[in-house]
């Protein structure tokens, strides 16, 4: 079904140029979009809207936002053709590992772009293959693609020093600055989605409350691919918390105890309609490596998480058996109950009342 297959195309954030119906990748010689004007720092200061031609990816540095090496964070913005500030919004967070000390950041290079300065050419090469195909529920949305260069699951607020080298783990600060510009561009959206894969999936979960706070009263949904919010082994979790100064939803007294507290907090505190969708492999080897677990431990923690999600009205999961990592883009992959990725995403995105858990 073409409609369903476009959802996987839309949400794949891999390298390569844009498809023929989604505009073109930024031209390295075209110059950056204008990012002049006041940018909100979370204190209510007015922010400048995103500029540039609609329907094309526009390279946009975010004033005050930083990558790991201290350089300015740029994003890619694709404004909805004909958008008037009420269109739907899709905010996509790139993935790419994590790092929390000199070994993981510099020796192992366990987080993408941590030492990179992202210019128009390098970010343009990663332009996501989103689609404006007719019938796609995101076809008329304004899109913002946030690259991952802080190593902190998009949720830190600390400049750390490892062996004399600074790393700006400021994903949370960056998110607020991006949201300020996005809100100025689309102040009254019909609906907002925040999505991501791997570290970007964790980011989508961790900043979900920030996106909702930016647009009070607006429907905000989240989609996490392979960002399974289960607990990291204790010593590593402590190191991550200390290095990143990781931020959590206000009022969540136990969120600092582990990532598994996030979804129960949302379930207990959000009364209005929303959807949180999780895609995962049940023994994800990448999560096991980063979290200090084995495949069986990932599966057991995921099973407990899914049971808690299933008890809510708004949280559901699609799970494949195996130790793979990242599900989006595999439209035809089929869970054990016969549901494909494309079918599940279609049900998620269109508020189908039959949307439910899929897989083992």
**Share above pLDDT 90 across residues of the chain, in percent, rounded to a whole number:** 82
Residue range 27-52: mean pLDDT, rounded = 53
Residue 357 lies in a domain: no
Q: Does the pLDDT value for residue 193 go beyond 50?
A: yes
In a domain, 177, yes or no: yes
359 domain residue, yes or no: no
Lowest average pLDDT, out of 69-73, 101-105, 126-130, 260-264, goes to 126-130
The number of folded domains in the chain is 1
Which pLDDT does position 32 carry in this prediction?
Answer: 34
Q: How confident is the model at residue 45 (pLDDT cuts 50, 70, 90)?
A: low
**Percent of all residues in the chain with a pLDDT value above 70, rounded to a whole number:** 87
Question: Is residue 191, in this structure, part of any structural domain at all?
Answer: yes
Residue 23 region, left (φ>0) first, then alpha (ψ -120 to 50), else beta? Answer: left
- Burial pattern 118-150, b for ≥16 Cβ within 10 A else e, equals bebeebbebbbbbbbbeebbbbebbbbbbbbbb
Q: What is the CATH number of the domain that holds 199?
A: 3.40.50.1820
Tell whether 161 is covered by a domain. yes
How many beta carbons lie within 10 A of that of residue 36, not counting itself? 9
Pairing of strands 276-281, 219-225: parallel
Confidence of residue 147 (pLDDT cuts 50, 70, 90): very high
User: Rounded to the nearest 5°, which phi and psi values hold at 124?
Assistant: -60, -30
**Residue pair 186/83 in contact by the 8 Å Cβ criterion:** yes
pLDDT of 85-118, one tens digit each? 999 999 999 999 999 999 999 999 999 999 999 9
pLDDT tens-digit series, residues 330-339? 989 999 999 9
- 268 domain residue, yes or no: yes
| 354 within domain boundaries | no
pLDDT per position as a tens digit, 269-307 = 999 999 999 999 999 999 999 999 999 999 999 999 999
Q: Which domain holds residue 89?
A: 2-349
pLDDT value at 18 more than 50? no
- Give residue 159's pLDDT: 98
Whether 195 contacts 144, CB under 8 Å: no
List, for residues 232-247, the tens digit of each pLDDT value. 999 999 999 999 999 9
Whether residue 149 lies inside any domain: the answer is yes
């Amino acid at each position: 079904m073409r409609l369903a297959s476009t959802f996987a195309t839309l949400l794949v954030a891999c390298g390569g140029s844009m498809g023929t119906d989604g505009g073109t990748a930024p031209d390295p010689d075209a110059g950056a979009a204008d990012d002049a004007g006041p940018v909100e720092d979370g204190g209510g200061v007015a922010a400048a809207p995103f500029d540039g031609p609609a329907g094309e990816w526009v390279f946009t540095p975010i004033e005050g936002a930083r990558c790991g090496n201290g350089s300015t964070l740029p994003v890619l913005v694709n404004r909805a053709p004909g958008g008037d500030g009420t269109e739907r919004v899709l905010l996509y967070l790139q993935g790419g590992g994590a790092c929390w000390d000199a070994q993981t950041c510099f020796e192992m290079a366990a987080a993408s772009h941590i030492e990179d300065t992202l210019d128009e050419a390098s970010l343009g090469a990663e332009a996501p293959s989103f689609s404006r195909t007719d019938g796609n529920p995101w076809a008329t949305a304004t899109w913002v693609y946030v690259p991952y260069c802080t190593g902190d699951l998009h949720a830190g607020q600390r400049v750390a020093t490892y062996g004399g080298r600074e790393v700006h783990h400021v994903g949370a600060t960056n998110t607020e600055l991006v949201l300020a510009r996005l809100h100025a561009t689309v102040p009254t959206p019909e609906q907002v989605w925040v999505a991501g894969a791997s570290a970007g999936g964790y980011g989508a979960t961790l900043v979900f409350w920030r996106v909702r706070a930016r647009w009070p009263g607006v429907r905000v949904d989240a989609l996490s691919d392979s960002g399974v919010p289960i607990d990291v082994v204790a010593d590593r979790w402590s190191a991550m918390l200390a290095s990143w100064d990781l931020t959590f939803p206000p009022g969540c007294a136990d969120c600092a105890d582990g990532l598994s507290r996030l979804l129960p907090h949302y379930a207990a505190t959000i009364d209005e309609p929303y959807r949180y969708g999780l895609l995962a492999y049940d023994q994800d080897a990448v999560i096991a490596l980063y979290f200090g677990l084995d495949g069986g431990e990932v599966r057991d923690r995921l099973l407990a998480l899914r049971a808690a999600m299933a008890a809510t009205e708004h949280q559901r999961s699609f799970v494949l058996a195996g130790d793979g990592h990242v599900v989006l883009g595999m439209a035809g992959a089929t869970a054990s109950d016969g549901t494909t990725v494309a079918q599940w995403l279609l049900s998620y995105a269109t508020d189908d009342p039959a949307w439910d858990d899929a897989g083992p």
